[in-house]
Homo-oligomer: A and B are copies of this chain.
Amino acid sequence: MNAANLRARVRAEMTEEIKQVALRHLATDGANLSLRAVARDLGMASSAVYRYFASRDDLLTALIIDAYDAVGEAAEKAAASQADPVERWVTITHAVRDWAIANPHKWALIYGSPVPGYQAPQDTVVPATRVIFALAGAVQAGLATGRITEVPPQPAGRFGEEMAAVAEQFGTGVPPHLVGGVMSGFIHLCGAISGELFGQLNNTIDEDREGFFEWQMRAAAAFAGLA
């Protein structure tokens, strides 16, 4: 609790406050975040914000990392709540979807089209994998409890080798072809949520989107071996 720590804490609080206001703006005004508007809401000059974030992109990056962590945490929490592997998979996907529906602007931030001129820095790599790992954990549990019987078609050629490398990198003991199933399920999950949030389902599936979602996610689970 020395002075340096105090100053750092005040700075951290200010940084957090800027992010919160920015999130509020993102939620109401859409993706074109105005730094000046954020500064106005905080009763400070726009130039003062630059003491905390070097640029608008820097602020966005901070928000993106937070969002990855939030959705990853939601997925992990859901995973911990279910013992049965199949239901764990389904619960994880529902948790991600619920989070996305509650925070559509944050979802767009991380899984929508990249912000113009914005290039995701290396900081975002690790938090981005938490959902995938949660899904892989369900498959791992399925393997451990002997629930996995059928297997998806073996990936062939270079792609098969790449899956083997990813399986190695994962280090979860999940065999390559199931890693492919996990990745495919993750992609399907992202597509289902983005399709729902970005309007691709409009005028086609308007009533029971949750039913459609779960139907797809159970199919994705089956493709990853979890039948």
Contacts and interface: CB of A to CB of B under 8 A. Distances in A.
A183 B204 contact: yes
A28 to B, nearest CB: 11
A46 interface: no
A146 interface: no
A195 to B, nearest CB: 5
Copies in the complex: 2
B152 A219 contact: yes
Interface string A125-145: 100110010000000000000
Chain A contact residues: over half helix, strand or loop, or mixed? helix
B199 A120 contact: yes
A223 B219 contact: yes
Given A190-B195, A190-B200, A212 B180 contact: yes
Give the interface size class of chain A: 35 or more
Given A190-B200, A195-B190, A204-B166, A31 B116 contact: yes
Nearest to A132: B204
Interface in A182-207: 183-184, 187-192, 194-195, 198-200, 202-207
Interface in A86-132: 108, 111-117, 120, 125, 128-129, 132
B31 A113 contact: yes
Contacts of A190: 191, 194-195, 200
A115 B199 CA distance: 12
A192 B200 CA distance: 15
B191 A159 contact: no
A3 interface: no
Interface string A204-227: 111110011001101100010000
Interface string A1-42: 000000000000000000000000000011110000000000
Contacts of A156: 211
18 contacts: A108-B113, A113-B113, A114-B198, A125-B202, A128-B200, A153-B218, A153-B219, A158-B208, A158-B211, A160-B211, A162-B212, A180-B215, A183-B205, A184-B212, A187-B192, A187-B216, A188-B216, A190-B200
